[in-house]
Amino acid sequence: MREFILLALKARTSPDFSFTELPKAGKMDLVCRTVSNTLWISHAIRKDTTLHIVMNGPRNPPKIISFYGEKLSKIETNDDEITIARIIKKALKKGIKLNLNEKKEVMPGVEIAKKAFETLIKEKIGSTQLVYLHPKGEDIRKAKFKEKVTFIFGDFIGLPKKTEKLLKRLEIKKISIGPKVLFASHCPIIVHNELDRRQNLKLSNI
């Protein structure tokens, strides 16, 4: 099982944004591309993958929108930015009145919660291997991963220093996906490629 957690510090947490101006909604276009690149492959969806988008922008943070590949069905062939933005907007509308740590289903495979990044990370400890994608981490090609692994990464801003201190305190390992700093939306593709290769090699040796 693969999970990804994107901390989108400026992503709008209220549904009052325009589909024609996604960059002005806290780089919502970046968020949508990350959803697409994490969950979709050619003519299919990754059923073994979950993505949590932690959104901390205005006007009602924090919000987490989670996409569960194993449950998604209705939008399998629609991975464009506008389609995904419509789902995010629908989720934010449904989540307006949520109290802290409450969650609600938006549609099969999509949930929204009013929950902080730190709370989500602490919930994951013990049930999955937590990894922080960082340019100064260990090379992903040399790292060892468990069957259940969760990759944490930031948007164009990165993670705040206090958040990085939390990850260090929790002994969450840094992993680098290459010598260049990539767009956040590209990171899941590189990770998937590495894990796909390992999985294919493992199956060929059976």
Which phi-psi region, left, alpha or beta, contains residue 71 (left: φ > 0; alpha: ψ -120 to 50)?
alpha
The pLDDT confidence band at residue 76, using thresholds 50, 70 and 90, is very low
Mean pLDDT of the chain: 93
Look at residue 74 in the predicted model and tell me its pLDDT: 58
If one counts the domains in the chain, the total is 1
Spatial contact of 12 and 57, defined as CB atoms under 8 Å apart: yes
Q: How confident is the model over 161-186, as a mean pLDDT?
A: 96
CB-count burial class (<10 Å; 0-12, 13-18, 19+) for 90: middle
- Whole-model pTM: value is 0.95
Domain of 187?
A: 2-204
Look at residue 135 in the predicted model and tell me its pLDDT: 94
CATH of the domain at 137: 3.40.1280.10
Look at residue 77 in the predicted model and tell me its pLDDT: 47
The pLDDT confidence band at residue 140, using thresholds 50, 70 and 90, is very high
pLDDT beyond 70 at 99: yes
The pLDDT confidence band at residue 78, using thresholds 50, 70 and 90, is low
The pLDDT confidence band at residue 42, using thresholds 50, 70 and 90, is confident
pLDDT beyond 90 at 44: no
| For the chain, percent of residues with pLDDT exceeding 90 | 89
